[in-house]
Amino acid sequence: MLTCALSTTPFRRVFAALVTSPEVSCAKTPGKTERLCYTDDYLFRKHLVACGGDNTMFAGAGMASRYVDRILRAQVYDVACESALTRAPRLSQRLNNQILLKREDEQTIFSFKLRGAYNKIYGLSAADRARGVIAASAGNHAQGVALAGHRLQIPATIVMPGTTPGIKVDNVRRLGGKVILHGDSYDQANQFAQQQATAQQLSFIHPFDDPAVIAGQGTIGAEIVRQHAEPIAAIFVPVGGGGLIAGIAAFIKQIRPEIKIIGVEPEDAPTLHQALAAGCPVRLDQVGLFADGVAVQQIGAETFRVAQELVDEVILVSTDQICAAIKAIFEDTRTVAEPAGALAVAGIQRYLVQHPLQDQTLIAILSGANINFERLRHVGERTEVGEQREALLAVEIPEQPGSFLRFCRALKAHNITEFNYRYADGQRAQVFCGVTLAPGENDAAHLAAELRTQGYTVVDMTDNEVARSHIRHMVGGTAPQVTDERIYRFTFPERPGALLRFLSGLSDRWNISLFHYRNHGAAYGRVLVGIQLPVQARAGFAAAMAEAGYDIADETENPAYRLFAQGGLSTGEHHASSATHS
Ligand SMILES: Cc1ncc(COP(=O)(O)O)c(C=O)c1O
């Protein structure tokens, strides 16, 4: 039974304990266990009988407990919902641990940011409310402030960089915010917003470095504690300016101190990571923009103070790992997380490589799902490498009929995701090749070594950023020395082994001088092939293709091929071509 030892504070009412933690090691008496309980007003620390029956209560001691109080009193549920904490079945099975997702994508603005913004604005005095609020943001905070202003009927101005995607600007306007487009970067917009706040006596709503904002975000921690009373090994939290992690850590470390709080940041925006290493907030010269929600150059002063004391660890993840996490979340939830929203799952995947835990419960904050549709192409492209499922190899093969086919056969069961080749000289050919690695075989170097034993010269490009982002799109160039070249576009139903069957169909009767194939996950594979076909061989080729049933188009006169892969257009053709396409 829980008893209260704080006799100096009279109870106004009997509190029902909202939460009771599982037994954990006793913080005061090594070797003993205790349970932690809290109510909506006070924090109780109850030592079990094993601890000597010494029921101790403490309230108000230290920074974290003051935040607990603020978090419990935070006003967020006028605009926010208590988001679900759902099991991710596929991820859990794959990672041998129970992975739970805190679904902040369920909020009306598809991110948690309305919690802090609303709590801050709600707490303003009547006079401040009447004058209005201003904020600078290119993303989720903007929507949170606009929504809060609208709900509380407070004029809200949001300064956004001129480069902000139209979809976000429209969203803020739709929520009733007045948008000012200013500058080219968040920093410029922020500076302008601060000037306007002073000049017009508006309340500046900081996106993270404000106790009221931190407390609003901390309500996520309170919900987790209510939603999952069983043991939790760690909560993974994406970090930008640090408001989210500070709020969650402040609550969790006071109520369930055994739970690890692990921050996750992109490798190219290690704001908290660097600050912890330096012992104080540091300003990064540049931050990567891929995970735009956390692209912050400097952690807040207050958020750093909290994080330094309460965060257990910060891990960094690459863009490709974030892309792989977006896919993993999609597979379990059919939700497309934004890059910052997927950071925590990427962090769990990385963490488990270094700490092989089993059967533990790990929670990821799925913090947002505001992604531009156009970005999905990039995400899809990088996912396979992020999952370590695609190897990129440069392979030298002999320049002779049939060697392509032999090379494909040497790849055995591996699925080819990309095949890029252009004739260069009469002896050897360089092929740029993407290959799906079989489950469990997560080592591109292993595959490269296997090919070398078969006599191929192989360079492993899997981790080569230039190859991945650029060279794969540039393989080729003109080859005026290739005679009688005809260019054909083929389509064939995409299924495992389809490319190998296609190449077998071409057999070794013709010399291939150009080849481009990229598997985009579409229903039909599309290949562009250059074949050396003297006039007398063309009829035989056409008949063989018709017999094989290929859908084929002759693109030899296509100006794109003529300009970039053959030898250029003549002046007259240039004119005709531009006339045709204008
Ligand atoms: C989707 C998303 N995740 C995480 C964060 C990081 O929050 P904080 O800046 O409080 O660290 C943000 C910040 O805007 C965000 O939009």
Distance set, CA 411 to CA 397, 400, 408, 462 (Å): 13, 18, 5, 16
Cα(104)–Cα(220) distance, rounded to whole angstroms? 9
Q: Residue 265 Cα, ligand 1 centroid: separation in angstroms? A: 10
Q: At 514, list the tokens.
A: 């150009």
Q: Residue 459 CB: number of other CB atoms within 10 A?
A: 13
Which atom belonging to ligand 1 lies closest to the Cα atom of 237?
4
pLDDT in tens, 52-62: 333 333 333 47
How do the pLDDT tens digits run along the chain, 582 residues long? 333 333 333 322 233 334 444 555 544 455 655 554 444 333 333 322 233 333 333 333 477 778 999 999 999 999 999 999 999 999 999 999 999 999 999 999 999 999 999 999 999 999 999 999 999 997 899 999 999 999 999 999 999 988 777 778 888 999 999 999 998 778 789 999 999 999 999 999 999 999 999 999 999 999 999 999 999 999 999 999 999 999 999 999 999 999 999 999 999 999 999 999 999 999 998 888 889 889 899 999 999 999 999 999 999 999 989 999 999 999 999 999 999 999 999 999 999 999 999 999 999 999 999 988 888 888 887 887 667 678 889 998 888 878 888 888 888 777 888 888 888 777 788 889 988 887 665 678 888 888 999 889 999 988 887 887 777 777 777 777 888 999 999 887 777 777 778 887 776 778 888 888 887 667 778 889 999 999 999 998 988 888 888 888 999 998 888 877 776 666 555 555 443 333
Query: What is the signed CA dihedral for 267, 268, 272, 277, rounded to 10 degrees?
Result: 80
Cα(40)–Cα(576) distance, rounded to whole angstroms? 78
Q: At 55, list the tokens.
A: 């029921």
Cα(182)–Cα(165) distance, rounded to whole angstroms? 13
Q: Residue 208 Cα, ligand 1 centroid: separation in angstroms? A: 8
Cα(270)–Cα(296) distance, rounded to whole angstroms? 9
Q: Residue 195 Cα, ligand 1 centroid: separation in angstroms? A: 24
pTM (two decimals): 0.75
H or E element that contains 85: strand 85-87
Q: Residue 338 Cα, ligand 1 centroid: separation in angstroms? A: 11
Q: Are strands 55-57 and 85-87 parallel, antiparallel or unpaired?
A: unpaired
Distance set, CA 32 to CA 23, 175, 234, 366, 411 (Å): 10, 53, 22, 35, 58
Domains defined along the chain, listed by start: 19-59 (no CATH), 85-109+211-375 (3.40.50.1100), 114-204 (3.40.50.1100), 388-575 (3.40.1020.10)
Distance set, CA 238 to CA 82, 104, 315, 346, 568 (Å): 19, 12, 10, 10, 50
In the annotation, is 113 catalytic? yes
Percentages of the chain per state (helix, strand, coil), in multiples of 5 = 40, 20, 35
Which atom belonging to ligand 1 lies closest to the Cα atom of 245?
11
DSSP assigned state of 105: G
Cβ 485 under 6 angstroms from ligand 1: no
Cβ 132 under 6 angstroms from ligand 1: no
pLDDT of residue 441: 59
**List 83, 111, 137, 367, catalytic entry:** 367
Instruction: Give the residue from 451, 454, 456, 447 showing the smallest Cα distance to 429.
Output: 456
Cβ 303 under 6 angstroms from ligand 1: no
pLDDT of residue 125: 97
If one residue of 102, 205, 244, 261 were mutated to test the ligand 1 pocket, choosing by the most ligand atoms within 8 A of its CB, it would be 244
Q: Give yes or no for a contact between 221 and 168, defined as CB atoms under 8 angstroms apart.
A: no
Q: Residue 306 CB: number of other CB atoms within 10 A?
A: 25
3-state secondary structure of 65: helix
Residue 316: left if φ>0, alpha if ψ -120 to 50, beta else—which one?
Answer: beta
**List 113, 120, 168, 253, catalytic entry:** 113
Cα(280)–Cα(47) distance, rounded to whole angstroms? 36
The residues facing 460 across adjacent strands are 393
pLDDT of residue 568: 62
pLDDT of residue 10: 30
